[in-house]
């Protein structure tokens, strides 16, 4: 029914000596293979089974927008506020056919009066953590808790600030550009685009504040981690080393495979250019273990230059084998206007498409997706 998935490619992190890397790999292979040989299971991407009947027949989910400058509004009293659109849907699964179908149910608006330099509610992710729903503003660094996100409610959801994340080690007045978030070991990891900031005029030195990751625990305390070397190792390993780059807006921790999955929004082998970047969309799926010492990477579906991954989640019941993902596209027009579109798709972690990209109506840039029950 579906085309065979592509063969994964592997790259070993370059800052580890080759002989040592081979020795470590051989040792780990021995340690891992022996117990799995007797248990009849495997930790590889291709060998983790899932029971089709374990996937629910219907799975409610929500998506949320980053409208950029279009999020700004003015009240009747001429006071500014900012909005995002939230769309509820149901993912239907047919176990007999192994097929998925998306049904859209309702649309809501989410409002806030908080902003940074006149920008706000540019929400880049949705994450359900400890039975609460969180979303993240990539302009201000505000972490919002969402309330009343039931699709059956006649009222719009409300948001309440729970944190303001700051760039780098947190000792700055610049809000963190939150781009992705996931849950690992009962903590919420929030990351940015994983690329150093470069001044096109060459006046300002490179900035590495967006190569840090924020870790939020169950008490909502924040820990700051420098992931600069991890992001550099990843892009080097998959062939996009400096002056090339990867821009990240999607990352998932997969507890079933004990792996990170990164789905970059952009990938370029040449130096960053704001104009050219709009057409650097990619279909890479990069997987790595907790140590970030080796990387498997494949391509998923076909590349459309303007489209890049903006959010993804593991589908319930699939044992970490199936991903639902959003892609978004934005093209600049004369006069500063921009056209926004979004797409939804489903595929396995080894690259087999189960639902080809479908456009989401409404002309908006959706950058967060999460299951709501």
Domain CATH code at residue 25: 2.120.10.100
Instruction: Show binding-site residues for Ca(2+).
Output: 124-125, 179, 249, 310, 367
Is residue 4 one of the residues assigned to a domain? no
Is residue 244 one of the residues assigned to a domain? yes
Is residue 246 one of the residues assigned to a domain? yes
316 closest CA partner among 50, 45, 56, 43: 56
| Tally of structural domains, the chain | 1
Please give the Cα distance from 368 to 373 (Å, whole number).
Answer: 16
Cis ω before 243 (30° cut-off from 0) = yes
**pLDDT at residue number 201:** 61
What does DSSP say about strands 158-164 and 142-147: parallel, antiparallel, or unpaired? Answer: antiparallel
**b vs e for 43-61, b when ≥16 Cβ sit within 10 Å of the residue's Cβ?**
eebeebebeeeebbeebbb
What does DSSP say about strands 338-348 and 322-332: parallel, antiparallel, or unpaired? Answer: antiparallel
Please give the Cα distance from 92 to 345 (Å, whole number).
Answer: 13
Is residue 338 one of the residues assigned to a domain? yes
Is residue 3 one of the residues assigned to a domain? no
- Residue range(s) defining the domain that contains residue 290: 9-371
**pLDDT at residue number 204:** 61
Cβ contact 128:175 at 8 Å: no
**pLDDT at residue number 53:** 74
Neighbours of 38 (CB within 10 A): 8
Is residue 2 one of the residues assigned to a domain? no
Is residue 1 one of the residues assigned to a domain? no
The encoded tokens of residue 192 equal 């940015």
**pLDDT at residue number 202:** 54
Is residue 222 one of the residues assigned to a domain? yes
What average pLDDT values come out for the chain (373 residues) when binned by 10 residues?
57 50 43 34 46 89 93 86 96 96 96 93 97 96 92 86 97 96 99 87 74 97 98 98 96 98 97 90 98 97 95 98 96 72 97 97 95 92
> Element (H or E) spanning 66, and its range?
none
């Amino acid at each position: 029914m579906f085309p065979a998935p592509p063969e994964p490619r592997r790259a070993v992190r370059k800052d580890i000596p080759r002989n040592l890397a081979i020795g470590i790999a051989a040792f780990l292979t021995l340690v891992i293979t022996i117990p799995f040989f007797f248990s009849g299971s495997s930790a590889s991407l291709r060998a983790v089974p899932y029971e089709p009947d374990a996937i629910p027949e219907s799975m409610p989910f929500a998506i949320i927008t980053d409208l950029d400058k279009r999020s700004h509004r003015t009240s009747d009293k001429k006071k500014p506020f900012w909005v995002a659109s939230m769309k509820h849907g149901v993912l239907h699964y047919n176990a007999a056919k192994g097929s998925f179908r998306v049904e859209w149910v309702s649309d809501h608006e989410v409002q806030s009066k908080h902003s940074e330099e006149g920008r706000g509610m540019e929400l880049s992710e949705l994450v359900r953590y400890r039975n609460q729903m969180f979303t993240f503003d990539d302009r201000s660094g505000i972490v919002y808790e969402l309330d009343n996100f039931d699709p059956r409610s006649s009222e719009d959801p409300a948001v309440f600030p729970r944190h303001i994340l700051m760039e780098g080690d947190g000792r700055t007045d610049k809000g963190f550009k939150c781009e992705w978030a996931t849950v690992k070991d009962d903590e919420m990891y929030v990351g940015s685009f994983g690329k150093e900031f470069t001044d096109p005029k060459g006046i300002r030195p490179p900035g590495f504040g967006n190569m840090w990751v924020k870790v939020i625990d169950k008490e909502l305390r924040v820990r700051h981690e420098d992931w600069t070397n991890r992001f550099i190792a990843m892009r080097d390993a998959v062939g996009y080393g400096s002056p090339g780059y990867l821009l990240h807006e999607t990352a998932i921790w997969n507890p079933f495979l004990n792996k990170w999955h990164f789905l970059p929004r952009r990938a370029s082998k040449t130096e960053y250019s704001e104009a050219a970047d709009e057409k650097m969309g990619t279909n890479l799926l990069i997987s790595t273990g907790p140590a970030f010492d080796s990387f498997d990477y494949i391509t998923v579906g076909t590349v459309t230059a303007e489209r890049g991954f903006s959010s993804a989640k593991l589908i319930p019941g699939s044992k970490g084998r199936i991903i639902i993902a959003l892609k978004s596209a934005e093209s600049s027009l004369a006069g500063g206007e921009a056209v926004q579109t979004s797409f939804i798709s489903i595929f396995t972690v080894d690259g087999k498409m189960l639902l080809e990209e479908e456009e989401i109506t409404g002309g908006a840039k959706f950058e967060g997706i999460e299951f709501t029950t």
